[in-house]
């Protein structure tokens, strides 16, 4: 029976963690999945968001609430960042991949190091009432610090999906990924649309940061382990498919959790990446992606 | 009549639900001039991509010089003498015109650097680009880039050249320029498949014309006959034209 | 190519005289750091500048090379030359595997893979007691040959040799059919394929060369520092510098990474005494972005552009000498 308990708990933890990974990947699903901008700085942005939330929490603010509040300034930052990126490259007839990737890599390093310089390299965490307690369902024991953030994801995903599918702006965002010229002919400015989308992605990053810091302590360089995971989730879900992000996250979370429990923690990082490669090799369109 | 240089049998290719190329059979004899016409979306470029190895056909075989090359990667086919130019010129930017020609020579012909340079000069002369030898490929005009595209295909000494809309967007005199190039090439022993929308060019150049529509061959005849073919007229101009 | 190789060999051999001429080991200690980056940056650029594929995980290759060297020493008492060869082989293998898994898809995934590679190797080493785990490994290398007067001078000369070798290799790739094929792939992969270039094989070849050179740069490190741990082997700065030095110097030619490495490494050697390593990374990151945005061709590109402005004919002559 011990084995059953182990498996059930591994799966439960995996589902919860996977949901949190999915929240982290949500912003990337917009920038990389829809706009095809390889924003490798996204995990660093999530960590920056986590720091903003952690600092606010020191003054007594609930982390999730802090996340929502901070999403506004981060939205603005996202717009600025996109303007910088687009101004540097897309205006010049598109920089090559090496240059774009380097820009984002440099940005991620600057963010990480700026956090280290500003807040030191010690771990930061948040104080919320439910952290330290767990939910017990039969054999399963699930800490609230996993459960609560995990529940945020479906709400956020639904809101995002409705926004992209039901509102004119959301439609514009999806359209600009397919055919920029058609969008500009219909009177919309593709640059403005993409800038807005990037802002939304950053806003989502901060909410994900809130979830991340509830789960456990963070340090400035904590984003690195998530790069493989978030890209794997976006690809597995299918480029441009938002609803699939949660499922993809859960699949990866569960796979990692099982590997950690039954094989060895050392291979956990490799799991997401292996899934990424398998998806690209076997079903490049992902679970729910449209064939281009 | 010699055995066909290139034999395409039952080649078909779909992209998901879209059937881009329905089963197609095609023969190309040595030194032949074959024209392929058809409205946009009729599968011309898909056919070329299957023949040259850029797409894997879902069904069918491609036999070249008696060998089944259906599974072979594109670069092997290029080395065997099956050359192609691209619809939108893709010059090797950042490299000079001469260097552009050295690439196919390095990989298709194995000769000394000196011999390659001499050959490259000769090819440049034959297309009229010798003055641009040291210019960077991206600085060339449209016509010059199309010539470079052809020159690069020629540099590897092919037996077959597939010219995919090599004259799109050119003026009449520029079209004549390219056309005489292709005629000279054919005279030197290269079979040419010309895919074109520019009717007068195709008709002047080809010995035989194939018309594609929605992925199937709807007509195959010498130029004079194909223009009168009602199916071809319908494909290009609609029902009413066909009944005139 | 031959005169170039001879000059490089002369420099490497000439370097052997230095321990006899210069007494203070500090110069060798600092010089080692600079030469190490010459090798790393040159190796990085074979793939980065040559084929256009970004490797964010140079530290994985460097650290992997260092640990392979340490492993060969600990298990077989291997001499330094064997360590270097073993490290290079490991680097080549790592490069080919990473490339094979990702380059058939898209370049972006190669970049992401290299980030994941650093994390994975770091984790593997931390969980392997034989390699010292997280606390590290002390390396008591055999004493250096008497001629050199000390371990530092010895590894300096070795690294000088590696630097000359790396530069010769980079130049050969650049001017040969290999370099032309890579540049063709960078410009237009389908067109290259249509010209008979075996694109995947060539890219994997470049991955192997690049990985091998970067790993070779790490091989003498355990001997140099007498101690090896994951933090120093898989250091963030290495990955960043590997990217920044070629981009700042210029990726078009073998000279760029050398210039970038000498410049940046020297500045960092001086600066580390005064500013913290985090601040160092911050500054390098900002400078890197500034170059990517404003001067994507690096310093070489800036020089080229100003030459072109002064003498319009220069562009043509320059291109001729490169052919």
pLDDT, tens only, A234-274:
999 988 888 889 999 999 999 999 888 888 777 777 888 88
What pLDDT does residue C202 have? 94
Name the phi and psi angles at B150, rounded to 5: -70, -45
ipTM of the complex: 0.88
| pLDDT (0 to 100) of residue A90 | 62
CB of B139 less than 8 A from some CB of C:
no
Q: Is the dihedral of CA A207, C111, A123, A149 positive or negative?
A: positive
What DSSP state is assigned to residue A91?
Answer: G
B1 domain-assigned: no
Q: What is the DSSP letter of C147?
A: G
- Which of A27, A15, A25, A8 is closest to A253 using CA atoms? A15
- Residue-level pLDDT at C33: 92
Q: Measuring CA to CA, which residue among C155, C215, C149 is closest to residue C35?
A: C155
- Judged against a pLDDT cut of 60, whether residue A73 lies above it is answered with yes
CA atoms within 13 A on the CB side of A273: 24
Q: What is the DSSP letter of C54?
A: -
Q: How far apart are CA A268 and CA A264, in angstroms?
A: 7
Q: Which two tokens stand for residue A166?
A: 């039901």
Q: Are B118 and C207 in contact (CB under 8 A)?
A: no
pLDDT at A221: 87
* A32, two tokens: 């990389």
Any idea what the CATH number is for the domain that residue C92 is in? 1.10.3470
Q: How many Cα neighbours within 13 Å face the side chain of A68?
A: 8
User: What is the H or E stretch that residue A198 is in?
Assistant: helix A190-215
How many inter-chain contacts (A to C, CB under 8 Å) are there?
Answer: 107
| Residue C289 is assigned to a structural domain of this protein | no
Give pLDDT tens digits for A151-167.
888 999 999 988 888 88
User: Which residues of A, range 101-160, sit inside 8 Å of C by Cβ?
Assistant: 101-103, 105-107, 109-110, 113-114, 116-117
Following CA atoms B171, B173, B177, B178 in sequence, which dihedral angle do they give, to the nearest 10 degrees? Answer: 30
Name the token pair of A188.
């919309």
- State how far the Cα of A14 lies from the Cα of A254, in Å rounded to an integer: 4
Encode pLDDT of C136-164 as tens digits: 888 887 788 877 878 888 899 999 999 99
Count of domains in chain C? 1
Which residues 153-212 of B have a C-beta within 8 angstroms of C? 153, 155-156
Interface contact C323-B54, CB threshold 8 A:
no
Backbone angles phi, psi at B155, to 5 degrees: -55, -30
**C78 φ/ψ angles, rounded to the nearest 5 degrees:** -65, 140
Asked if A135 and A144 touch (Cβ cutoff 8 Å), the reply is yes
Residues A256 and A271 sit within 8 Å (Cβ to Cβ): yes
Domain-located, residue C64: yes
CATH of region A2-282: 1.10.3470
Sign, Cα dihedral of A242, A246, A247, A251: positive
pLDDT in tens, A85-102: 988 876 555 556 778 888
Q: Where are the domains of chain A?
A: 2-282
**Predicted TM-score (pTM) of this structure:** 0.86
| Whole-number pLDDT of residue A92 | 55
Give the mean pLDDT of B77-93.
Answer: 92
Q: Read off the pLDDT of residues C45-104 as tens digits, 9 standing for 90 and up.
A: 999 888 888 899 999 999 999 999 999 998 898 888 999 999 999 999 999 998 988 887
How far apart (Å, rounded) are the C-alpha atoms in residues A207 and A188?
29
* Structure token digits, residue B195: 């895919």
User: Using the 8-state DSSP alphabet, how is residue A265 labeled?
Assistant: G
Nearest chain C residue to B149, by CA: C191
User: Are the C-beta atoms of C69 and C84 separated by less than 8 Å?
Assistant: yes
Instruction: Please list every residue in chain C whose beta carbon sits closer than 8 Å to the beta carbon of residue B95.
Output: 180, 183-184, 187
Nearby residues of B9 by Cβ (< 8 Å), 6 or more positions away: B25, B60, B61, B62, B63
**Residue A30 gets which letter from DSSP?**
I
More confident residue, C80 or A289: C80
- Alpha-helical regions (H) of chain C: 2-15, 18-21, 25-51, 58-76, 80-102, 107-126, 151-175, 177-187, 189-194, 199-218, 221-225, 230-233, 236-249, 255-274, 277-294, 298-310, 314-322
Question: Which tokens go with C162?
Answer: 């590696």
Domain annotation covers residue C311: no
C53, two tokens: 């594929």
Percent residues over pLDDT 90 in chain B: 45
C195: which chain B residues are within 8 Å (Cβ-Cβ)? 75, 78, 103-104, 107-108, 152, 155-156
Q: Tell whether C106 is covered by a domain.
A: yes
Rounded to whole angstroms, the Cα distance separating A57 from A64 reads: 10
User: Predicted confidence band at A78 (pLDDT cuts at 50, 70, 90)?
Assistant: very high
Question: How many angstroms separate the Cα of A80 from the Cα of each of A224, B84, C267?
Answer: 23, 45, 31
Residue B173 in domain: yes
CATH code of B215's domain: 3.40.50.300
- Side-chain half-sphere exposure of A22, counting CA atoms within 13 A: 34
Q: Round to whole Å and give the CA distance between B100 and B27.
A: 31
What range defines the domain where residue B77 resides? 6-242
> Is residue C107 scored above 50 in pLDDT?
yes
- Report, as an integer, the average pLDDT of B24-43: 90
Among all chains, which residue has been given the structure tokens 């090496």?
A98
Q: Does the CB of C184 have a partner CB in chain B at under 8 Å?
A: yes
Query: Which residues in chain B are closer than 8 Å to C300, comparing Cβ atoms?
Result: none
For B140, which DSSP code? S
In a domain, C22, yes or no: yes
Residues of C in contact with A225 (CB under 8 A): 119
């Amino acid at each position: 029976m011990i084995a059953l308990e182990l498996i059930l708990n591994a799966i439960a933890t995996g589902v919860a963690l996977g949901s949190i990974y999915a929240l982290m990947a949500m912003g990337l699903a917009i920038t990389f999945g829809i706009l095809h901008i390889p924003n490798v700085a996204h995990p660093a942005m999530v960590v920056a968001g986590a720091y903003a939330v952690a600092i606010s929490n020191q003054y007594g603010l609930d982390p999730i609430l802090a996340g929502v509040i901070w999403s506004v300034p981060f939205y603005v930052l996202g717009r600025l960042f996109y303007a910088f990126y687009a101004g540097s490259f897309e205006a010049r007839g598109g920089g090559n991949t090496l240059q774009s990737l380097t820009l984002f890599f440099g940005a991620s390093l600057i963010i990480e190091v700026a956090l280290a310089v500003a807040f030191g390299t010690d771990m930061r965490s948040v104080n919320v009432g439910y952290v330290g307690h767990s939910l017990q369902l039969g054999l399963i024991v699930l800490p609230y610090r996993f459960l609560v953030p995990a529940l945020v994801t479906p709400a956020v995903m639904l809101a995002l999906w409705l926004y992209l599918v039901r509102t004119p702006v959301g439609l514009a965002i999806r359209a600009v990924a397919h055919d920029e010229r058609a969008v500009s002919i219909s009177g919309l400015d593709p640059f403005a649309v993409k800038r807005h989308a990037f802002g939304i992605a950053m806003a989502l990053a901060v909410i994900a940061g809130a979830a991340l810091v509830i789960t456990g302590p963070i340090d400035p360089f904590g984003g690195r382990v998530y790069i493989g995971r978030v890209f794997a989730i976006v690809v597995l879900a299918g480029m441009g498919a938002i609803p699939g992000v949660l499922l993809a996250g859960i699949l990866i979370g569960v796979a990692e959790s099982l590997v950690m429990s039954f094989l060895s923690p050392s291979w956990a990082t490799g799991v997401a990446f292996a899934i990424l490669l398998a998806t690209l090799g076997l079903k490049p369109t992902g679970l729910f992606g449209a064939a281009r | 009549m010699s055995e066909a240089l290139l034999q395409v049998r039952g080649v078909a290719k779909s992209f998901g639900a879209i059937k881009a190329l329905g089963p197609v059979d095609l023969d190309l004899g040595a030194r032949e001039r074959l024209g392929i016409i058809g409205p946009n979306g009729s599968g011309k470029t898909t056919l070329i991509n299957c023949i040259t190895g850029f797409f894997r056909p879902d069904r069918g075989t491609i036999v070249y010089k008696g060998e089944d090359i259906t599974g072979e990667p594109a670069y092997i086919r290029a080395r065997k003498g099956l050359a192609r130019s691209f619809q939108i010129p893709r010059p090797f930017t950042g490299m000079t015109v001469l260097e552009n020609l050295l690439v196919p020579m390095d990989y298709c012909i194995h000769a000394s650097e000196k011999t390659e340079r001499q050959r490259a000069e000769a090819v440049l002369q034959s297309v009229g680009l010798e003055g641009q030898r040291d210019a960077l490929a991206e600085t060339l005009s449209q016509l010059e880039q199309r010539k470079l595209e052809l020159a690069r295909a020629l540099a590897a000494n092919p037996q077959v050249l597939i010219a995919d809309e090599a004259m799109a967007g050119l003026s009449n005199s520029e079209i004549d320029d390219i056309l005489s190039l292709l005629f000279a090439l054919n005279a030197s022993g290269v079979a040419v498949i010309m895919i074109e929308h520019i009717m007068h060019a195709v008709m002047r150049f080809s010995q035989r014309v194939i018309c594609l529509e929605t992925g199937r061959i709807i007509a195959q005849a010498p130029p004079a006959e194909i223009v009168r073919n009602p199916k071809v007229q319908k494909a290009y101009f609609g029902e009413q034209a066909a009944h005139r | 190519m031959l005169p170039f190789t001879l000059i490089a060999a002369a420099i490497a051999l000439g370097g052997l005289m230095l321990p006899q001429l210069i007494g203070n080991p500090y110069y060798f200690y600092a010089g080692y750091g600079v030469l190490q980056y010459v090798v790393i940056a040159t190796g990085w650029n074979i793939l980065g500048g040559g084929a256009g594929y970004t490797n964010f995980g140079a530290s994985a290759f460097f650290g992997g090379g260092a640990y392979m060297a340490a492993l060969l020493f600990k298990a077989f008492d291997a001499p330094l030359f064997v360590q270097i060869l073993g490290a290079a082989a490991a680097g080549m293998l790592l490069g080919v595997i990473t490339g094979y898994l990702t380059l058939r898809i898209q370049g972006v995934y190669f970049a992401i893979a290299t980030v994941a590679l650093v994390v994975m190797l770091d984790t593997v080493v931390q969980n392997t007691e034989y390699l010292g785990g997280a606390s590290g490994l002390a390396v008591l290398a055999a004493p250096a040959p008497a001629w050199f007067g000390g371990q530092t001078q010895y590894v300096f000369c070795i690294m000088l040799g590696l630097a000359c070798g790396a530069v010769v290799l980079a130049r050969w790739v650049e001017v040969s059919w290999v370099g032309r094929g890579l540049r063709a792939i960078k410009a237009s992969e389908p067109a290259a394929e249509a010209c008979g270039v075996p694109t995947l094989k060539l890219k994997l070849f470049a991955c192997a060369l690049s990985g091998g050179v970067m790993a070779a740069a790490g091989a003498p490190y355990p001997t140099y520092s007498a101690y090896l741990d994951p933090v120093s082997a898989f250091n963030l700065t290495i990955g960043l510098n590997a990217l920044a030095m070629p981009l700042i110097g210029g990726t078009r030619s073998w000279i760029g990474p050398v210039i970038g490495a000498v410049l940046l490494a020297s500045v960092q050697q001086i600066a580390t005494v005064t500013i913290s390593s985090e601040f160092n990374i911050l500054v390098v990151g900002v400078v890197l972005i500034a170059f990517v945005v404003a001067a994507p061709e690096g310093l070489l590109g800036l020089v080229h552009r100003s030459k072109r402005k002064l003498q319009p004919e220069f562009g043509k002559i320059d291109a001729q000498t490169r052919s």
